[in-house]
Structure 1
Amino acid sequence: MFTLHVDDSIGDALHAFSFAHNTKPTFAIESLFNALSPAGKPFDLPQGKTYLLNPDRESAGIILLEHGICSVCHAGNDLFISSMFSPSILGLVDGYSIFYDVPARPRHYLYAETLCYGKFVPLNDFVRICDEQNLWHDVARILAHRLMVMSAREEELVGVDSYLKVRTMLIELNAYPDEYRQQIQVLSFVQRRTNISRSRVLAILSELRKGEYITIDNGKLVAIHQKLPAAF
């Protein structure tokens, strides 16, 4: 599990982002990893590639993300839902919906922000092992935590102007470990999460660079040097 780096001198610590990592149900995740890993097969997703979660019953499964960062997005409109950092359990909602044949179920996919790898556990094996080892309480803890994080994120990103959305994303990206942050193009990172136009994002980034608030090199966020303005 990576270490979160939030510098209070450059802005208020993000509630949703810091909350997500400070309250991550580590014990529940470790319990599932230990129980499910023996039934898993190697899984990898190169940076910039996508993976449709549980497209059909035959290929359905749960992913144990051992390394990397990925985004979970709606398959219908590419709307960003959340960022997932290793270690994480992926595919729980889609696995449930296909296992119980939920009508008109929502579809989601993963987008690899960095190289991602781990293990793929077939859905039937996942359900069997959770039944045998009484792991459903751990599954419930993980899902409840994600609901709380999504609620906190809505407070930050819904009903605010485009600059505040970009500001939020910059502070979040700045908190990522260097090994991950230096793999991520800041423009595409912000666009996928906010749906703000490319030209608008570029204009905001340009002004922040001119004001020496941020440094971007080869499209990657190098640093935030001072507290970002509260308004643009």
Structure 2
Amino acid sequence: MTIPTRPDDSMQCLFSALEPVSSEIKVIPRKRMSWEYKGKPQLYLFMEGEISLVRVTDGLVVASAYDPHIFGLGEAIQPKRYHILRVEKKSRILAVDVENALKIFDEQNLWRDVSTTLAYFNAYLVYRDEMVLQQRTYSVIRSHLQEMIGLPLEARLNTSILDYIRLRTHLSRSSILNVIFVLKTEKHIEIKRGGFLVAINNLPEKI
């Protein structure tokens, strides 16, 4: 299972077009964000910090961003609210009125970049579903460890393995800890005190 490739060029085109008409908003860590700001639908340009996309129905974290990212494209075109945004720590976020953004997409012929970015988001949701819907508990945990090791070191040292997986799955605390204990004991992974992932030496297909 391979994580989808982020379309950096298309995202940069959208950022370059939207940033001049954006305005910075104040956000409070651990606070959920509305898709509207001052009564108007918004696109959000996430610049730095940490932000999560959370599923409305059960509160599971679908994805987290640490690098510049754009949120709200799908909601701008099809205004359903299946997910919300939650700011995890001090972050810098810019807001753009959807109405203005759509005009810019028309004027600057950016719809190909919009569709490329939306295709990436869709592929990521499929990737995540494959991670979570696997039948074997170990397979789910293994996939999340592989994803976790790709995060910035600061992010890994701020979120324990247990918390990271529990926020993204319905696995029980005990089942996660049992697998982590085996992997640590057999030196497949290295963990810092507090349950923070330091390194992956190798992850077997089965344990």
Residue in structure 2 matched with residue 108 of structure 1 by the alignment = 83
Shift of 1:74: 1.4
For normalisation by structure 2, the TM-score amounts to 0.85
Residue in structure 2 matched with residue 29 of structure 1 by the alignment = 11
Residue 72 (str. 1) matches residue 53 (str. 2):
yes
Shift of 1:135: 1.7
Contact persistence 2:134–2:140 (CA under 8 A): no
Deviations 1:52-107 (A, max 9, x none): 34158814211111123433121122133333342211112223333xxxxxx333
Structure 2 stretches of 5 or more lacking a match?
none
Residue in structure 2 matched with residue 15 of structure 1 by the alignment = 2
Q: Following the alignment from structure 2 to structure 1, what is the Cα–Cα distance between the partners of residues 118 and 66? A: 15
Residue 174 (str. 1) matches residue 149 (str. 2):
yes
| Amino acid in structure 2 at the alignment position of 1:92 | L
In the TM superposition, 1:162-201 aligns within 5 A as: 162-201=137-176
Q: How many residues align?
A: 206
Cα 1:136–1:115 change in 2 (3 A) is same
Deviations 1:150-190 (A, max 9, x none): 33343343233111111111121112221332222321111
Q: Following the alignment from structure 1 to structure 2, what is the Cα–Cα distance between the partners of residues 57 and 42? A: 13
Q: Following the alignment from structure 1 to structure 2, what is the Cα–Cα distance between the partners of residues 171 and 221? A: 11
Residue in structure 1 matched with residue 67 of structure 2 by the alignment = 86
Q: Identify which of 68, 73, 76 aligns with 1:95.
A: 76
Cα 1:154–1:107 change in 2 (3 A) is closer
Residue in structure 1 matched with residue 198 of structure 2 by the alignment = 222
Q: Following the alignment from structure 2 to structure 1, what is the Cα–Cα distance between the partners of residues 86 and 187? A: 31
For normalisation by structure 1, the TM-score amounts to 0.77
Residue in structure 2 matched with residue 155 of structure 1 by the alignment = 130
Q: Following the alignment from structure 1 to structure 2, what is the Cα–Cα distance between the partners of residues 203 and 50? A: 32
For 1:193, what is the secondary structure of its paired residue? coil
Contact persistence 1:64–1:89 (CA under 8 A): yes
Residue in structure 2 matched with residue 60 of structure 1 by the alignment = 41
Residue in structure 2 matched with residue 123 of structure 1 by the alignment = 98
Structure 1 stretches of 5 or more lacking a match?
1-13, 99-104
Residue 40 (str. 1) matches residue 40 (str. 2):
no
Identity %: 27
Write out the 4+ residue segments of structure 1 that deviate beyond 6 Å after TM superposition: none
